[in-house]
Structure formats: C-alpha cells, structure tokens
Chains A and B, each alone.
Chain A
Amino acid sequence: MDKMNILKEWSYERTPIDKGYVRKNLHVNVGTPAIEIRDISQDTIDKFTGGRGFDLHLLWKAVTEDTKWNDPENEIVISGGPLCGITQYPGTGKCYAAFISPLSDQTYDSNSGGYFGPLLKFSGFDAIEIQGKSEKDVIVFIDGDQGKIQVLESPFTDINAYTVTEALHEYFAKDEADKINISVVAAGKAAESTRWGCLNMSFYDPRRKVARLKQAGRGGGGTILRDKKIIALVVKYSNVTGTENHPVDLRTLQKVGVKIHKEIHDLDDKQCSMRSVGTAHLNEIMDEYHLLPVHNYKFGQSPHIDKIHSSVYKKHFTQGMADGCWYGCSMACAKAVDKFEIQTGPCKGHVVTVDGPEYETVASLGSNVGVFDPKWTIEANFYADHYGVDTISLGTGFAFVCECYELGLISKEHTNGLELNFGAAADLMELIHRMAEGKDEFALAVGQGIKRMKSIFADKYGADKNVMEKIGMEGQGVETSEYVPKESVAQWGGYYLTLKGPQHDEAWLIFMDMVNKQLPTFEDKADALHYFPVFRTWFSLTGLCKLPWNDVEPADNSYRYRPQDAAKVPEHVQNYVDVFNAVTGKNVTKEDLILQSERVYNFQRVFNVRMKKGNAEHTIPMRAMGPVFPDEWDARKEYYDGKLKEFGFNPEGMPTEEKIAKLYEKRWGQWLELKKAVYKRRGWNAKGIPTVKKLKELGMDYPEVVAVVEKYSRPEDELE
C-alpha cells in the first residue's frame, strides 16, 4: 500500500492510567478536522462509572433533542471502562459504542470484543468521541506509541471490512510481530446503503496470521461511521503488559483471576463448552425448548436441527486454538472457521478465515430464514462482516421478507426477480450482495429495517400493513434477536421493555420464567426485569464481557444457593466486586454495582425520552406474544389448547382463528399488566418516564435531566 496522504496531524502527551482511568477523552471532529483532549471529571466517574456510562454522558452533551442520526453533531462514542484491558480476569477487552441510532432515532449502545477498547485506553483515552462529517473518505489514526493523531486520506477503493482491516494492520505495523499492537474499526459497503451497519473491531491473530473481526453489530453504528465518511479508526499501542491499568491491588486481581481460570478449565467441558463451540452450544438447547426461531419466529423447533447441531459446527470450528478476543480470556469462545472457500460474490474462490458463526448468527442467518446449511450460514456470516452489516438484524429482516413473500404480500416483480421463500439460499445470498452494491431498489428497501419496510411495502407494493404489523419482529425500530419469546411473559419484557429494543443483552429470563416457573406473579417478573437488566448494565460500564458471569458457574453454585439466588451466580458477583475494588481502589459492595448501573440505566431512559420528545412508550408485535396464523397454533395444538383452558376457554370445536384471537386478547392484557408492574418497579411513571424522585434517589437529578422529565411527565401518569 502506498503512503497515505496526511490531511492533518496533532501531537499529544500520553497521560498514564491510574486505577483504571486516564480521566481524558479524545474528541475528534472529522468535518473540520479538529481534535480536542478533554478532562473527565470526578463527578462523571462517580456517576457514570465508565464505558457506556461515559458514552451516554458525552453523547448527551453533543446532541440536542432534534438531532437526527445523520446530522453532523451525532457522535459515535466508544469507551471501555475502568476494568477494560486487565489481563488477569477473562472477558475484559470489551468496549461499548453509543450513538443516536438510524434504526430507532434514540440512543443505542453496542458492545464489541477485539483490542480497540484496551488499546485506546492505553493510548491515553478513556473514550473517543467522533463527530462531524468529512467531505472525503478518511482514516483516523491514534498512535499511542508516538503520541500522535492523524486524519489520513483513504486510498481504498474496496472499503469492505476484511480488505481494509488487513491492509491497515499491514500498513501501520513495523513487521509481522507488530500487527498485534493494532486494532481497526471498520464497516463496509453495505453500511452505506442500509441502516444495519455494524462496527467491526479487529484483533490480530498471530497463530492464524490473519486479522479477526468482532462486532459492535447492532443499532447501526457502522451506518453512522460511513455517513461520516470514515473508512476506519485505527489505534496502535505496543508492549502491552498486565499492569497497564495500574491497579491498586494486583495480588487480589491475580488471585480472583486464577480462581475463575481454574473453574473454566475444570468445568467448561461439562457445562457450556464455550471453548470448543462458543455460544453455538445453544443451538440444540434452544430448539429443544421451542426457543429457536424458525421461519420468522413462527416456530421454535425444526426437524432439521441435526443439520445445525453444535456438533456439526464443532467440526467447522478449528479446535485447540486460544480463541480469546483479548489477552487472558480463557473462555476462548471467539471460534473461527479456517480455510473456508467462498462460493459466491466478489470473494468467490478466496480461502478465508471466518469469525463465528455464533449462536445468534446460526439462528438469524439459518433457522429463521429456513436455511439449515452451515456452509451457507458461514458464508453469509463472512459477507455480513465484510460488507459491514449486523448478522442479527440482517437475518431477522430477511425472515420478515421471506414471510411477506410466502404470504404474497410482495412478489418476484417487487424483488427484482428474486424468489425469497424460506430456505431460498441462493437468492437470499444474492440479496446480501445486492445490498452491498447499493443499487437495487428492493435491496435498498430491505436495508431500511423492518419498521420502515412495513411502510415501504404497504405504500409501494400495496402489502397489507396490518398483517405486517403482526409478523414484523421489531421493537423501537430494532430487529428482535434470536430467541422465541412467545411463551415467556417475562421475556416479553426482557425484549420489549428495554432501553434500546429487543436485544438479549438486557435480560434473558426465559428459563427462569417459562421453564423453571420461578416468576409466577407480575411483581416477580417485574423484580427480575429490574434486577437483571440493571446488573447486566454493569458489564457495559466497566469493560467486561457478560459470558464469564453465567456461561460457566462454580461447581457448587447449583446447590449452595437457593434457585432464585443461584441464577445470579453470587460467587461471580463477588469476583466482580473484588476485581473492581482491586483495580480502582474503591470499596464498593455488590449493592453498589446495582446503584452504579441503575444510575446509567435511568439516565439512558431519560435520554431516550428526550430524543422521542416524550413518546418513548414500549410496544410489542403480536408474533412475539403467540401464534398469528393457524399453522403456528397447530404445530403445538395440545400446548396452545391447554393455554386457552388456563384462561377458562373450552377450545373444543372452536375455529383456530378464534382460538388465536382469544389467546391474544388475554395475552395483551398480560402485557399491559406486565408493563405497568415493570414501570412501577423501576420507578417510572405510566408512560415509562423515570420520576424526579427516582432520579434524586440515584443522585442523577442534574438540572438538564430533571428538565426533560418535568417537561414530559403529567400528574395523571403517576403510578405511586
């Protein structure tokens, strides 16, 4: 690659990290271009902790309530958190991106593994804010070794992620060994033409000698990156040690780390097998419990499950590799398929390494679209990453398209010749390529996401909007991730009473609720829908991965605690308390973790109320709550007839359409009751707006935050 043209360059003095914090953030305006290094105050640290908390705090100040996703002032803010980059505990390389989403027009936060978060902090910044819009394609380079920031003119004609990432690792490294000191954030061609653009964040795999891509996939961050004409963000920092964060108590850190590494070593093979198949261990489990989405969530099981069983994927994944996406992660779930020959598209014939597929992709670009061919899913996964588009949104969006096609709501005439039935592997792959090409009108419509597809299909093709509202699996404009929520009332909330839309990283309560029957009342469900989303928020504040929390558990967890407590994995929660204190020198308790999270959780909710000008109430599609069509009912006739009986109806002789209507009516009532109980438990009003009292309790009663609440709250909406 020829030497890149430097458009602007700045020098800076790297501030060392102390107790997990640099106390600096880097503001880059790619429009001007200009940079500014800003201080992070003690109050910001105390109230927002780090990571997603810092992101949202900075984003709040950058935008107004009128800011649209593609306005120059919208930012992509990326931050790890105080624990990000420690090497003693598994899953500590995460960073979090936040922005005003092109899908939901409110805040979205999305996390990624890879080395970007840690290397950014080691280079002297707790967070980076990217604002403005460049006139031409640029690359932003942060050189933590030299204390230098450059905005470079992009030389790329092929802007897709693997091309750009591999070239930039090569360009900025002195030699092969130096490539591990670099991380690249890139999107791809489809991020320009869809709202599903993802942020690929790299790490260099020295064993395979390839750049690997992890994704902050959801919410459309990649779409914003390309809208700003950024081809890539690059960070370089060399000679990483295990004490870059300057923790106050290295000994405790090491002790807690050794304990969990031993647990993973001893127990993972007997528990989740994350080291050999990653999250794909869930494939057959989800099928067994009717949770695997099949044909746009119509069904939860498939007779073809054996074709996508984890044992099949295990044969595709290279075994015996240290597949951690940050140093020290013995969970090593970042599985990859090596020497995979691409069969279609611009990379046809290339032999590549594909990151994943993880469970979500196996389901989204697999069972949900009716394709039970792992090789197809692996190739779709490759192209989604390469083109910079989120696999979950893509698969759920395609599943909606397939059902519309099968229902005759859209036809071959609209799809420009593609036959998009469920299982139409070749034509679905072609649709992915057309999205990246960005010319085909139908592909462009699909890339707008389900919420907008419903309007486009109705307006342009005369499709029945009412039917599409029932089957379109989106909430707040965001596509649902890959679990069938129909039969768990708590999971309706886990998906559709969330801050950002139906993404499983807030709460996954299906087993507790549907299988274990641990949440019998609405108050129980509301308690769980308070605790778990708030607890999980904590990972995003500190730079951690959720998986080592409960995808491995201590050998005695299942019998040492009562079931309700065991679900929280108390020993691991204590690990997090110990690790946080060991790094930061603070003296927090497990209750403090909840307080830290609840502060940011409520702040983000007010932020969304602000962006939605008060209209941020939650909704849920009919398909998420039960069958829409008779074939769904008939697939589990005995089960659903039983559900009707529980509501006091006699299903004998009742037409199936009537059964569906009666069940839906009852479940809609449950949804309203759930929503009210959850809002109340969270300290929100009937419109889902946090109360001033709640903000005061949390110490989050900043005047500008209270002003939003007061502007949109009405006395008649009070729940207390």
Chain B
Amino acid sequence: MTWFEGITIQDILDKKNFTFRMLAVWVNDVAVPRNDFKTFKVPDQATVQVVHMISGG
C-alpha cells in the first residue's frame, strides 16, 4: 500500500479492513503493543507484519 507521512498502524489496519481485535503487529521485526497502534508512526519502506491471534474455534 502507499505510504504517507504520519501513517499509523491503525491507518494500515483500517485500510486493510482488519477489524479483528486480537491482532499482533511487528514493524521491521519489532513488536508494537496494541495500545500504541493509533500513535505508532510507520516509517517509509517498513516491513509491517500483522498477525491474527487464534481465538475462535
């Protein structure tokens, strides 16, 4: 997806339509706590890994 200045993890999750609450996110291999999703600014060219924890089943 297209990066823009100030883009946060929450912006990315919204864009991807990820509404599942039990998500784990790594930015450039560093884990980011859920409470920081709205404020954590993702740098350009970063690798963002979004993982849905199991729950369910």
Contact = CB atoms under 8 A, between A and B. Distances in A.
B38 interface: no
B54 A558 contact: no
Nearest to B23: A558
A553 B52 CA distance: 13
A567 interface: yes
A550 B33 contact: no
Contacts of A512: 54
A244 interface: no
Contacts of A505: 57
A294 interface: no
Given A557-B53, A567-B54, A271 B22 contact: yes
A285 B49 contact: no
Contacts of A566: 24, 51, 53
Contacts of A550: 53-55
Interface string A358-389: 00000000000000000000000000000000
A566 to B, nearest CB: 6
A330 to B, nearest CB: 17
Interface string A485-509: 0000000000000000000110110
Given A504-B57, A559-B31, A560-B31, A515 B21 contact: no
Contacts, number: 75
Contacts of B17: 288
A551 B24 contact: no
A511 B23 contact: no
A555 B21 CA distance: 12
B20 A558 contact: no
Nearest to A270: B21
A301 B29 CA distance: 33
B49 A558 contact: no
Interface in B1-41: 17, 19-26, 31-34
B52 A516 contact: yes
A551 B53 CA distance: 9
Given A504-B57, A556-B33, A558-B31, A563 B21 contact: no
A285 B19 contact: yes
A508 B56 contact: yes
B22 A518 contact: no
Nearest to B24: A558
B30 to A, nearest CB: 9
Contact of B21 (A272, A289, A559): A272
A483 interface: yes
Given A559-B32, A560-B31, A508 B22 contact: no
A516 B56 contact: no
B19 A288 contact: yes
A515 B52 contact: yes
A420 interface: no
A282 interface: yes
Contact of A563 (B22, B49, B56, B57): B49
A530 to B, nearest CB: 16
Contact of A511 (B19, B21, B52): B52
B20 A567 contact: no
Which of A285, A553, A558 counts the most chain B CB atoms within 10 A? A558
A285 B51 contact: no
A515 B17 CA distance: 13
Interface string A274-308: 00000000101110110000000000000000000
A512 B55 CA distance: 11
B33 A508 contact: no
B31 to A, nearest CB: 3
A676 B17 CA distance: 36
Interface string A502-533: 00110110111001101000000000000000
A483 B49 CA distance: 25
A553 B33 contact: no
Given A285-B19, A518-B51, A566-B51, A511 B24 contact: no
Given A288-B17, A556-B33, A558-B34, A563 B55 contact: no
A559 B33 contact: yes
Contacts of A271: 21-22, 55
Nearest to A269: B21
B55 A272 contact: yes
Contact of B54 (A284, A288, A483, A508): A508
Contacts of B53: 511, 550, 553, 557-558, 566-567
Given A288-B19, A483-B57, A508-B57, A559 B52 contact: no
Interface in A222-236: none
B56 A282 contact: yes
Contacts of B22: 271-272, 553, 558
Contact of A285 (B20, B32, B50, B54): B20
Contacts of B55: 271-272, 282, 511, 550-551
A512 B53 CA distance: 8
Most A Cβ at <10 Å: residue of B23, B25, B33, B55: B55
Nearest to B33: A559
A282 B22 CA distance: 12
A507 B57 CA distance: 8
Contacts of B34: 270, 555, 558
Nearest to B19: A288
Nearest to B52: A511
Interface string B41-52: 000000001111
A61 B22 CA distance: 44
A132 B1 CA distance: 66
A360 to B, nearest CB: 10
A272 B21 CA distance: 7
Nearest to B31: A559
Q: Among the interface residues B21, B33, B49, B53, which one has the most CB atoms of the partner chain A within 10 A?
A: B53
B32 A511 contact: no
Contacts of A282: 55-56
B51 A516 contact: yes
B19 A563 contact: no
11 contacts: A271-B21, A272-B21, A285-B19, A288-B17, A288-B20, A504-B57, A553-B22, A559-B32, A563-B51, A566-B24, A566-B53
Given A550-B53, A563-B26, 4 more contacts: A272-B55, A505-B57, A516-B51, A566-B51
Interface of B: 17, 19-26, 31-34, 49-57
The 9 closest A-B pairs by CB, nearest first: A508-B57, A559-B31, A558-B24, A511-B52, A563-B51, A504-B57, A516-B51, A515-B52, A550-B54
